[in-house]
């Protein structure tokens, strides 16, 4: 292939969430359904099951689905979808005693207020600590809504519009099947069912084709590796090494199961519930037909048998009747995400434990950047790939910092797991520097000065002050001059929360209405 020849055929290797989101975004951008000058093919093994554990998303998924021409109603109906308004972190602050429960919310933020516009945290810190509301309830109406199982919108709210910001929980296997049908039938993606045996390399070190068991050789110009942790193309073929971060993020095992609701009108949480235990944490995700529940832990700190006992204790009476699936992973990322004419997206590029459900968001971000910056010829690859690698290394580094934050400022000391997580040598220097600064300075938007940071000011404030991080208010009290405005905004949060609590349906009520009537598309 000549370096001036057009890169006109993109082959995505691997289905699942990463593969189908990427193929859909590329095919939509290239208008493959109507324009034959660009082709997007997806090659998927008929013999490798989808991992299908990650079921949480970020609000960006609404824009992605809408841009692909997907109906929100049909998505919810076909993917066991529910609404996600954030996460509740239970027993992360300190070791529970005598059955007590402590928790805080990291909401997806009320649409009415952002700390970027006016930072209420300083005014909250200066209130009487004995009598003030928790930070989440004081600054976000969404925390109130989540606590009473309310939905983020009404059935009369148009598709993808919000009264409170939201994303989704979904069944990953059903979502992959749904995306498969939509991408092939509506967006012009070519589907090839085949096992890839190897990738073939040309004389210049570029991938030229795939050798498959069922259909022989498949030639292409550009390749997207969505083959999961195997990283068949970027890792095995092009030799890009995997960089472990096990010294920072300890968890490397999970056990997952599906838990049926006790009855047809059981409440459905509109947030992920992440509960800390002595040697790990459990996730609890409410889908419309079941709960997805599992435990994440470190094999260096506890055994599989002990982790399963913890999970079964969390689930309760139904636990012994369920089937369980064990998973192994190692948090980390490739030294490069893009080499030559191949980019890795999803687990083939990186994986960090699912505490903040960042995986699907980073798939969306990767696919959108690839589509926006897609090289026309091989001559364009160097600049675009270097830019891409720089941005995604930043995104993954920032994700590691934010996930580690949840662990390293806890007051729990009931096991080596928590003690080790708080050890200074396990905390990235970038996060150490911020935490030291924030002991005497309020976190501000200037601490997050990169356009592509995945976690920004509001998210950090919810976790920091949800975890009872101490900022010395004596250093900031003389700088606060807008108490009247702050009081108005605190009151507004309560007013909006009360109004929405009266007007919004429960989460289950809305899901039942969506299944029966659907949202308005206008």
Active-site annotation, residues: 84
Give the integer Cα–Cα distance in Å for 328 and 317: 27
Give the integer Cα–Cα distance in Å for 83 and 272: 10
- Per-residue H/E/C for 232-251: HHHHHHCCCCEEECCCCCCC
**Closest Cα to residue 233, out of 200, 266, 275?**
200
* Domains defined along the chain, listed by start: 9-81+169-242+331-399 (3.50.50.60), 85-158+248-330+422-488 (3.50.50.60)
**Which tens digit of pLDDT belongs to each residue from 350-393?**
999 999 899 999 999 999 999 999 999 999 999 999 999 999 99
- Print pLDDT tens along the chain (522 aa): 677 789 999 999 999 999 999 999 999 999 999 998 999 999 999 987 766 555 899 999 999 999 999 999 999 999 999 999 999 999 999 999 877 889 999 999 755 678 888 999 999 999 988 889 999 999 999 999 999 999 999 999 999 999 999 999 999 999 999 999 999 999 999 999 999 999 999 999 999 999 999 999 999 999 999 999 999 999 999 999 999 999 999 999 999 999 999 999 999 999 999 999 999 999 999 999 999 999 999 999 999 999 999 999 999 999 999 999 999 999 999 999 999 999 999 999 999 999 989 999 999 999 999 999 999 999 999 999 999 999 999 999 999 999 999 999 999 999 999 999 999 999 999 999 999 999 999 999 999 988 889 998 999 999 999 999 999 887 778 888 899 999 999 999 999 999 999 999 999 999 999 999 999 876
In this structure, what DSSP letter does residue 377 have?
B
Ramachandran assignment for 86, one of left (phi > 0), alpha (psi -120 to 50 degrees), beta (any other): left
- Whole-model pTM? 0.96
Q: For residue 124, what are the contacts with CB-CB under 8 A and spacing of at least 6?
A: 132, 135, 138, 139, 465, 490
Is residue 6 helix, strand or coil?
strand
358 burial (CB, 10 Å; 0-12 / 13-18 / 19+) is: buried
8 A C-beta contact, residue 101 and residue 91: yes
Q: Where are the beta strands (DSSP E) in 117-230?
A: 167-169, 190-193, 196-201, 207-212, 216-219, 222-225
The strand pair at 338-339 and 253-259 is best described as unpaired
The strand pair at 222-225 and 342-344 is best described as parallel
Alpha carbon of residue 464 to chain centroid = 19
**Which tens digit of pLDDT belongs to each residue from 240-269?**
999 999 999 999 999 999 999 999 999 999
Give the integer Cα–Cα distance in Å for 116 and 338: 33
Give the integer Cα–Cα distance in Å for 11 and 9: 7
The continuous run of DSSP H or E covering 515 comes out as helix 507-516
8 A C-beta contact, residue 377 and residue 5: yes
């Amino acid at each position: 292939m000549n370096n001036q020849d057009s890169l006109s055929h993109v082959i995505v290797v691997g289905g699942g969430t990463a593969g189908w989101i990427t193929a859909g975004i590329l095919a939509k951008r290239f208008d493959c359904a109507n324009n034959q000058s660009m082709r997007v093919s997806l090659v998927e093994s008929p013999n490798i099951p989808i991992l299908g554990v990650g079921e949480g998303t970020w609000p960006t998924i609404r824009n992605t689905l809408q841009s692909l021409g997907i109906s929100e109603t049909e998505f919810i109906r076909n993917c066991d979808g529910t609404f996600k308004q954030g996460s509740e972190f239970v027993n992360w602050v300190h070791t529970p005693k005598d059955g007590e429960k402590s928790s805080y919310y990291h909401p997806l933020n009320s649409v009415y207020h952002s700390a970027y516009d006016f930072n209420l945290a300083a005014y909250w810190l200066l209130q009487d600590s004995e009598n003030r509301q928790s930070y989440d309830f004081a600054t976000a109406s969404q925390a109130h809504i989540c606590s009473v199982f309310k939905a983020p919108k009404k059935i009369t709210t148009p598709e993808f519009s919000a009264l409170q910001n939201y994303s989704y929980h979904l069944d990953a296997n059903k979502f992959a099947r749904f995306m498969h049908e939509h991408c092939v039938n509506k967006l012009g993606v070519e589907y090839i069912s085949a096992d890839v045996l190897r990738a073939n390399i040309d004389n210049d070190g570029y991938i030229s084709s795939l050798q498959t068991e069922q259909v022989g050789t498949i030639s292409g110009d550009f390749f997207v590796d969505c083959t999961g942790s195997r990283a068949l193309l970027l890792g095995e073929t092009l030799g890009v090494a995997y960089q472990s971060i096990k010294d920072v993020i300890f968890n490397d095992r999970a056990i997952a199961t599906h838990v049926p609701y006790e009855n047809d009108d059981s409440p459905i949480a509109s947030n992920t519930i992440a509960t800390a235990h002595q040697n790990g944490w459990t996730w609890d995700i409410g889908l419309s037909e079941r709960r997805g529940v599992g435990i994440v832990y470190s094999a260096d700190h506890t055994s599989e048998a002990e982790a399963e006992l913890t999970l079964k204790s969390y689930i309760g009476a139904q636990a012994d009747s369920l089937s369980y699936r064990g998973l192994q992973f190692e948090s980390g990322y490739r030294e490069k995400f893009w080499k030559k004419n191949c980019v890795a997206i999803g687990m083939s590029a990186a994986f960090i434990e699912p505490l903040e459900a960042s995986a699907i968001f980073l798939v969306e971000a990767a696919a959108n950047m690839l589509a926006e910056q897609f090289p026309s010829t091989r001559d364009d690859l160097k600049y675009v790939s270097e830019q891409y690698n720089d941005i995604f290394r930043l995104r993954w580094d920032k994700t590691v910092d934010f996930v580690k934050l949840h662990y390293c400022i806890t007051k729990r000391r009931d096991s080596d797991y928590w003690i080790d997580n708080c050890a200074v040598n396990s905390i990235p220097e970038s996060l150490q520097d911020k935490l030291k600064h924030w002991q005497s300075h309020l976190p501000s938007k200037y601490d997050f000065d990169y356009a592509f940071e995945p976690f920004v000011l509001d998210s950090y404030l919810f976790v920091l002050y949800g975890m009872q991080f101490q900022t010395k208010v004596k250093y900031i009290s003389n700088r606060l001059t807008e108490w009247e405005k702050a009081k108005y905004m605190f009151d507004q949060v309560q007013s909006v929360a009360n109004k929405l609590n009266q007007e919004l349906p429960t989460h289950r009520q809305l899901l039942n209405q969506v299944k029966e009537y659907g949202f308005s598309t206008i």
